Structure formats: C-alpha cells, structure tokens
Amino acid sequence: ENKTLPFEAIGDGTLHRLVDAFYHRVGMHPDLAPIFPDDLTETARKQKQFLTQYLGGPPLYTNEHGHPMLRARHLPFEITPVRATAWLGCMAEAMDEVELEGPVREDFYARLYLTAQHMINTPDDET
C-alpha cells in the first residue's frame, strides 16, 4: 500500500504559510491575543515544528523540546470553550487563505478539532 502522509500532501511551504496566517489572526483576536505573547515569532516556530510531526513528518518538535505533553503545556493558560472555538475559527480562516482544500483539509481540521477540545481546562464563566 502506498499511503501519502498528510505532511507530504500539504507540503512544508503551505504548512508554514498556514501557521503564519493563523498567528496573524490569533494576534488580532480579542479572545486569544490576551493569553499569547506580543511577539508570536517563537510560538509560530514551535507550532511549525509541532504540526510537521502531527501530520506524520519528521519529529522536529520532540527533537528540540521533548514530548509535546500538549495539555500540560497549556495548563498555565485559561483555555475556555470560547477560546477553543476562536482558535479553530482562526485556523479555518487560515486554511481558506492558503487554499488548503479537500479531504486533506477535512481530516486535518477534524483532528485539530478534537485536540482543541482536549486542551479546554477552564469553563467559560471563570474568565
């Protein structure tokens, strides 16, 4: 069987443009910007590394930072259902911007949706 990895189907160039388009939106979003650093350069660099391995590419994130332990790394931040929806909205708009379409987009987004739900650690009414 000859299965193409999502990382290969999307391509490194499109993935990097996606992450840049995503953090551009995060930095302007009223529900998200307050919990992110002002300078998103390093955040975007780590996210490019993480999403590369999440999509089946080389383990760039783990090689530099160790096991992702994503939920634990998000515990210092109040991740509410509203913020998860905002995060996913920024991602959907970024996917539109870089014209990521078809089954590869649907599968990627479906996984991100589940991961985003898993990051929620605070109810909406506590913020």
Give the residue with the Cβ less far from ligand HEM, 2 or 123: 123
Question: By CB under 6 A, is residue 15 in contact with ligand HEM?
Answer: no
* Among 77, 97, 104, 109, interactor with ligand HEM by CB under 6 A: 77
Question: By CB under 6 A, is residue 65 in contact with ligand HEM?
Answer: yes
Q: Whole-angstrom Cα distance, residue 45 to residue 13?
A: 13
Give the residue with the Cβ less far from ligand HEM, 2 or 14: 14
Report how far apart, in Å, the C-alpha atoms of 122 and of each of 17, 75, 77, 88, 92 are: 30, 9, 9, 17, 23
Residue 120 and residue 80 in contact, taking contact as beta carbons nearer than 8 Å: yes
> Helix H segments across the chain?
6-10, 12-26, 41-54, 60-65, 70-74, 81-97, 102-119
* Among 20, 73, 82, 109, interactor with ligand HEM by CB under 6 A: 73
Give the residue with the Cβ less far from ligand HEM, 9 or 84: 84
Question: By CB under 6 A, is residue 74 in contact with ligand HEM?
Answer: yes
Question: What's the CA angle centered on 109, arms 107 and 111, to 5 degrees?
Answer: 70
Q: Which residues bind ligand HEM (CB under 6 A)?
A: 32, 35-37, 42-43, 46-47, 50, 65, 70, 73-74, 77, 79, 83-84, 87, 112, 115-116, 119
